[in-house]
Amino acid sequence: MKVNKIFLIIQTILMYILGISALIAGILVMINVDSPAIYVFLLIFLIGLFVFLPFYIVNIIFGIIEIFKDSVNPLKMTFIIKLIHIPWYCINFFIIFLLIAGMLNPFLMLGIPFVLIISWFLTYVYMVSSGIHSVAYIIHKMKQREIKPNVLAIFALVFNFIFCLDLVGSIILYALYSKDNN
Q: How far apart are CA 19 and CA 12, in angstroms?
A: 11
170: confidence class by pLDDT, cuts 50, 70, 90? very high
Q: CA of 116: how far to CAs of 19, 97, 105, 134, 162, in Å? A: 16, 10, 16, 28, 17
The average pLDDT across 139-153 equals 89
179: confidence class by pLDDT, cuts 50, 70, 90? low
Phi, psi values for residue 62, rounded to 5°: -60, -40
- Domain total of the chain: 1
Q: How far apart are CA 53 and CA 37, in angstroms?
A: 24
Residue pLDDT, tens place only, 75-88? 888 899 999 999 98
Note down the domain range covering 159: 2-180
Q: CA of 182: how far to CAs of 25, 32, 172, 174, 178, in Å? A: 41, 51, 17, 12, 9
Q: CA of 113: how far to CAs of 58, 96, 119, 125, 134, in Å? A: 27, 11, 10, 18, 32
CB 172 within 8 A of CB 159: yes
Residue pLDDT, tens place only, 1-38? 577 788 788 888 888 888 888 888 878 877 877 888 88
* Axis crossing angle, helix 75-102 with helix 112-143, rounded to the nearest 10: 170
pLDDT of residue 100: 84
